[in-house]
């Protein structure tokens, strides 16, 4: 007659790895480790029946996967918004060069967002006469040099604008772009271009769309080369 097998011992101690799994699942950046810790805890609990924490391990796996997914999605959304912001000057200049004044206005804050087609055309004509045909804008490797005070919601970024002259040669013009965040929003998507400052090494700068002081205390349209 077979003797009954001894019943497995009741769990008496919590699994430290299972606890670590549920804890890390709610921590920023560390949540990606939670599913791995949860799996390790389940294996340990299966092999050592005196350990408790199977439910914690499963919860750590589930919460860790969900939290990691949300963080990845959030990071991707932020990166996409920053890339769109960085490309806004190129978008604005391409629109201006194509005669799409509305497209230019959509990338800018006032007064650029209110510029007339005639003023945009005058600005493009000045740039074309000075540098040639616009090709592209890219971010410069160096930070822009400070040039005047900025508003509380403004920030300065260094770019390089590429133009092609009639003879086929390419000229690169240092460009400082002033961005502005509207007071009604804190999102990255709401940031628009406030001002363009073309700074050629062989002549006066061209600022648009602000009114810049000219020599003798007078003001001139910034679509024209500054002093």
Q: Write the CB contacts of 111 (distance below 8 Å, at least 6 apart in sequence).
A: 209, 210
CATH number for the region 87-221 comes to 3.10.450
Angle in degrees, 0-180, between the axes of helices 54-86 and 34-47, rounded to the nearest 10: 170
- Is 0.85 surpassed by the pTM of this model? no
Q: Is the peptide bond before 209 cis (omega within 30 degrees of 0)?
A: yes
Closest CA to 100 of 85, 120, 86: 120
Distance CA 224, CA 178 (A): 18
Distance CA 207, CA 227 (A): 10
> How is the chain split into domains, by residue range?
13-85, 87-221
Q: What pLDDT digit, counting tens, does each position of 148-204 carry?
A: 677 788 999 999 999 999 888 999 999 999 999 988 888 888 999 999 999 998 888
Q: What pLDDT digit, counting tens, does each position of 50-79 carry?
A: 899 999 999 999 999 999 999 999 999 999
């Amino acid at each position: 007659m077979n003797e009954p097998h001894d019943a497995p011992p009741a769990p008496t101690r919590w699994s430290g790895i299972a606890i670590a799994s549920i804890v890390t699942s709610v921590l920023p950046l560390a949540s990606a480790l939670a599913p791995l810790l949860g799996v390790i805890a389940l294996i340990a609990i299966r092999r050592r029946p005196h350990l408790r924490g199977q439910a914690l391990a499963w919860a750590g796996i589930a919460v860790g996967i969900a939290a990691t997914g949300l963080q990845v999605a959030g990071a991707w959304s932020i990166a996409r918004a920053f890339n769109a912001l960085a490309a806004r000057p190129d978008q604005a200049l391409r629109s201006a060069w194509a005669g799409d004044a509305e497209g230019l206005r959509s990338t800018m804050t006032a007064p650029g967002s209110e510029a007339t087609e005639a003023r945009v055309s005058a600005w493009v004509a000045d740039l074309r006469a000075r540098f040639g045909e616009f090709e592209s804008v890219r971010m410069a490797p160096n930070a822009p040099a400070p040039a005047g005070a900025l508003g509380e919601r403004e920030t300065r970024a260094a770019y390089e604008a590429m133009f092609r002259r009639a003879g086929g040669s390419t000229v690169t013009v240092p460009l400082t772009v002033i961005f502005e965040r509207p007071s009604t929003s804190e999102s990255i998507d709401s940031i628009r271009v406030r001002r363009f400052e073309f700074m050629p090494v062989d002549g006066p700068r061209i600022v648009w769309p602000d009114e810049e002081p000219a020599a003798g205390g007078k003001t001139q349209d910034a679509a024209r080369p500054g002093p």
